[in-house]
Amino acid sequence: MRYSGFQVFLNGLTGNRGWAPVWRDPAPKDHYDVIIIGGGGHGLATAYYLAREHGITNVAVLEKGTIGGGNVGRNTTVVRANYMLDGNVEFYSHSLKLWQNLSAELNYNVMLSRRGCILLAHSDGQLEALARRGNMNLMQGDGAELWDAATLRRHIPYLNFDDPRFPLKGGLMQWEAGTARHDAVAWGYARAADRLGVDLIQNCEVTGFRIERGRVTGVDTTRGHIGAGKVGMAVAGRSSQVAAMAGLRLPIESHVLQAFVTEGLKPVIDTVISFGMGHFYISQSDKGGLVFGGDIDGYNSYAQRGNLPIVEHVAEAGMALMPMIGRARMLRSWGGIMDMTMDGSPIIDRTPVEGLFFNGGWCYGGFKAVPGGGHVFAHLIATGNPHPVATKFRLDRFARGAVIDEEATGATPNLH
Amino acid sequence: MKLDCPLCGARDIREFHYQGAASLADRPDPDAPEAQQVFLDYVYMRDNPAGENRELWFHAHGCGAWLVATRNVTTHEFLSVRLAAAREAAP
pLDDT band at A414 (very low <50, low <70, confident <90, very high): confident
Nearest alpha carbon to residue A343 among A259, A399, A294: A399
Find, in chain A, the residue whose alpha carbon is nearest to that of B45: A251
Q: Average model confidence (pLDDT) for chain A? A: 96
Q: Report helix angle A88-100 to A124-140, nearest 10.
A: 70
In one-letter notation, the amino acid at residue A175 is W
Average pLDDT over residues A98-105: 97
Q: Residue A134 and residue A358: Cα distance in Å, rounded?
A: 31
Tell me whether 0.85 is exceeded by the ipTM.
yes
Which DSSP category does A157 fall into?
T
Q: Are A1 and A26 in contact (CB under 8 A)?
A: no
- Among A240, A309, A398, whose Cβ lies nearest the Cβ of B48? A240
In tens, the pLDDT along A18-67 reads 999 999 999 999 999 999 999 999 999 999 999 999 999 999 999 999 99
Q: Residue A58 and residue A389: Cα distance in Å, rounded?
A: 26
In tens, the pLDDT along A322-355 reads 999 999 999 999 999 999 999 999 999 999 999 9
Beta bridge partners of A248: none
Q: Are A108 and A68 in contact (CB under 8 A)?
A: no
In tens, the pLDDT along A253-292 reads 999 999 999 999 999 999 999 999 989 999 999 999 999 9
Q: Residue A206 and residue A224: Cα distance in Å, rounded?
A: 9
Q: Report helix angle A41-54 to A370-383, nearest 10.
A: 50
Q: Give me the pLDDT at residue A160, please.
A: 97
Query: Is beta strand A224-233 parallel, antiparallel or unpaired with respect to A31-37?
Result: parallel
Chain A positions in Cβ-Cβ contact with residue B60 (cut-off 8 Å)? none
Q: Are A284 and A328 in contact (CB under 8 A)?
A: no
Q: Which of A172-201 are b and which e, b meaning 16 or more Cβ less than 10 Å from the residue's Cβ? A: bbbebbbbbbbbbbbbbbbbbbbbbebbbb
- Measuring CA to CA, how many Å separate A230 from each of A23, A63, A121, A353, A390? 23, 17, 46, 10, 20
- Mark yes or no for CB contact B41/A249 under 8 Å: yes
- Give me the domains of chain B, ranges plus CATH numbers: 2-86 (3.30.2270.10)
- Mark yes or no for CB contact B73/A307 under 8 Å: no
Chain A positions in Cβ-Cβ contact with residue B44 (cut-off 8 Å)? 251, 342, 398, 411
DSSP-derived secondary structure for A182-217: HHHHHHHHHHHHHHTT-EEE-S--EEEEEEETTEEE
In tens, the pLDDT along A234-243 reads 999 999 999 9
In tens, the pLDDT along A215-251 reads 999 999 999 999 999 999 999 999 999 999 999 999 9
Helices and strands (DSSP H and E) totals, chain A: 11, 18
> pLDDT tens, position by position, for chain B (91 residues)?
999 999 999 999 999 999 999 999 999 999 999 999 999 999 999 999 999 999 999 999 999 999 999 999 999 999 999 999 886 555 4
What 3-state class would DSSP assign to A159? coil
Average pLDDT over residues A116-139: 97
Chain A positions in Cβ-Cβ contact with residue B40 (cut-off 8 Å)? 398-399
pLDDT of A141 higher than 60: yes
- Mark yes or no for CB contact B74/A254 under 8 Å: no
Q: Are A260 and A332 in contact (CB under 8 A)?
A: yes
How many Cβ contacts (< 8 angstroms) between chains A and B?
A: 64
What is the separation, in whole angstroms, between the first and last Cα of chain A? 44
- What percent of chain A has a predicted confidence (pLDDT) above 70? 100
Q: Give me the pLDDT at residue A415, please.
A: 85
Q: Which of A59-90 are b and which e, b meaning 16 or more Cβ less than 10 Å from the residue's Cβ? A: bbbbbbeebbbbbbbbbbbbbbbbbbbebbbb
Q: Give me the pLDDT at residue B87, please.
A: 62
Say which residues have a Cβ less than 8 Å from residue A28's Cβ, sequence separation at least 6.
A60, A62, A199, A201, A204, A221, A223, A224, A226
- Cβ-based interface (< 8 Å): residues of B facing A: 1, 12-14, 17-18, 20-21, 40-41, 43-50, 53, 55, 71, 73-76
- What percent of chain B has a predicted confidence (pLDDT) above 70? 95
Query: Given 3-state DSSP classes, what are the helix, strand and coil percentages for chain A, each rounded to the nearest 5?
Result: 30, 25, 40
pLDDT band at A388 (very low <50, low <70, confident <90, very high): very high
Q: Are A268 and A284 in contact (CB under 8 A)?
A: yes
- Measuring CA to CA, how many Å separate A234 from each of A37, A194, A311, A402? 6, 18, 29, 23
- Give me the domains of chain A, ranges plus CATH numbers: 26-81+84-107+182-251+343-415 (3.50.50.60), 117-175+253-341 (3.30.9.10)
Q: Residue B70 and residue B78: Cα distance in Å, rounded?
A: 6
Query: Is beta strand A347-350 parallel, antiparallel or unpaired with respect to A356-360?
Result: antiparallel
Taking the CA of residue A154 and the nearest CA in chain B, the distance in Å comes to 38
Chain A positions in Cβ-Cβ contact with residue B72 (cut-off 8 Å)? none
Chain A positions in Cβ-Cβ contact with residue B46 (cut-off 8 Å)? 240, 249-253
Q: Residue A136 and residue A177: Cα distance in Å, rounded?
A: 16
- Mark yes or no for CB contact B1/A412 under 8 Å: no
